[in-house]
Amino acid sequence: LPGLRHLVYASSSSVYGANQKVPFAVQDRCDAPVSLYAATKRADELLSEAYARLYGIAQTGLRFFTVYGPWGRPDMAYYSFADAIAAGRPVTLYNHGHMRRDFTFIDDVVDGVLRALDRPPDGLAPPHRIYNLGNDQPVELLDFVRALETAMGARADIRMAEMQPGDVEQTWADITTTREELGWAPRTPVAEGLRRFAAWHREYHGRG
């Protein structure tokens, strides 16, 4: 690919692992993963930095924070919650609902990806940069489910459960560097994002 100027790849907030300091900043250490998924994402970042160093190809990694919205993965928690509410099945909240997530709407994430594509990390050695793409406003999981209930016009049958192995209690993106260097900031409040997701969910699944 002789014309390749810049590679942008997907990383994840999971790389912050067992870090207790919040919000998570790109300068924080990421050497305590709590899941195999997190370990693979951190390995991706290190491989990308090494490749950029060896071959001089500019690369940018984007750490996504709990992306949600239309056309999402059905195995993601918010999507499975919506499926359960629509079908009248129980919704399981781990750690008894005491989880906080920096839910980030898909349209905002796409905007961040496009901004990163247009801004390769030129002049750096190696030419490799990482940014957080998060909402910078963590939401308690139970509050998130209540907002989803409002968006869907139905109540959830909530069941509480213990913490799952490989999970973390909270995520929170420090987007200071992303604002400064990419000119990016999230624009979609969770309530609005869930309203738009619920409308898509109803139409896609033929539920009126």
Residues serving a catalytic function are: 37
Distance CA 170, CA 101 (A): 6
H helices then E strands: how many in the chain? Answer: 6, 9
What is the dihedral sign for C-alpha 10, 138, 16, 83?
negative
Distance CA 154, CA 150 (A): 7
Distance CA 161, CA 178 (A): 36
Distance CA 183, CA 204 (A): 34
Distance CA 128, CA 113 (A): 15
Q: Where are the alpha helices (DSSP H) in the chain?
A: 36-55, 77-87, 106-117, 141-152, 176-182, 190-204
